[in-house]
Amino acid sequence: MNLKEHALEYLKYLKALGKSSNTLESYQRDLLQFVDFLNLKYETITIEEIDRHIIRDFMGYLYESLNNSNRSISRKLTALKGFFKYCVINKLMTSNPTLTMKNPKFEKKIPRFFSEKDMELLLSLPDLSSKFGVRNLAILELFYSSGLRITELIILTLTSIDFTEKIIKVHGKGDKTRLIPVGRKAIEAIQNYLSIRGTFLSKFSGNILFLSKSGKPLDRLELKAILSQYLQLVGQKKGYSPHTLRHTFATHMLSNGADLRAIQEMLGHANLSTTEIYTHVSLTDLTRTVNDLHPRSKKKGE
């Protein structure tokens, strides 16, 4: 096998582990870009000949020739680290050339999110005289109430939601399952949708919760298109996307007093450090918390 074939085998291995389609797509782009770089710079090179100097050369090429950011380069290096670790385990290499390499530092972007006022406007947009509006409101309310990923929402089934306990069972990244409480408004919107879900049914529907106009399960592109039509009406700035709803859920939960670890659990983050990006609570929120809770800030008699 050549290097490209080994890379594709590694991707098959990751898929078998349950890695998300987004992760697989980005890793495939990164690894094949590395293969293309080697083919461009070296006439022939074996996998055993790849060392840290060659990888550093690749990182320099990304930065100087392609103007990649440190964030992008860090992600590509992470993909290479995983690949070479796999190669050593499977005895394709005797040592991992990335073992002591550190990812370049970069500032974490503060995620965009909607204000509570903007969310009220967004949730008022679906036309409830249309079955599509009823479905779309249920989708928006559920995203805002639970912080789901798009890939998690499209595979929800009719049995995913416990309406008595107001809990949703989510199948997330890494083949992990988690339980998330769902708010009253979202529950009501979903129940309203279920009352007309029969008008969407086709032989392709199965027990999938949210259906397209053809009665098939919604795919990622369809759902993004549905959400984008509303997001563009509210978000005047560039950069708003369906993922903004997930950021909005986490930000509003945190600013209203939710524990960071609880938010981590609901979002399905493996590491707390990933969730800590939401600690950009505004100074107003912090001031309000201090004034309300700190014993030296309370008024006399309270």
| Catalytic residue annotation | 149, 173, 243, 246, 269, 278
Which contiguous run of DSSP H or E holds residue 169? strand 167-171
136's tokens = 């779309």
Q: Partners of 170 in the beta sheet?
A: 178
* Residue pair 267/246 in contact by the 8 Å Cβ criterion: yes
Q: Which of 41, 60, 42, 44 is nearest to 52 (CA)?
A: 60
Distance separating the N- and C-terminal Cα atoms of the chain: 74
List, as one string, the DSSP characters of 45-75. --GGG--HHHHHHHHHHHHHTS---HHHHHH
> Exposed, middle or buried by CB within 10 Å (0-12, 13-18, 19+), for 176?
exposed
How many whole angstroms separate alpha carbon 130 and alpha carbon 120?
A: 20
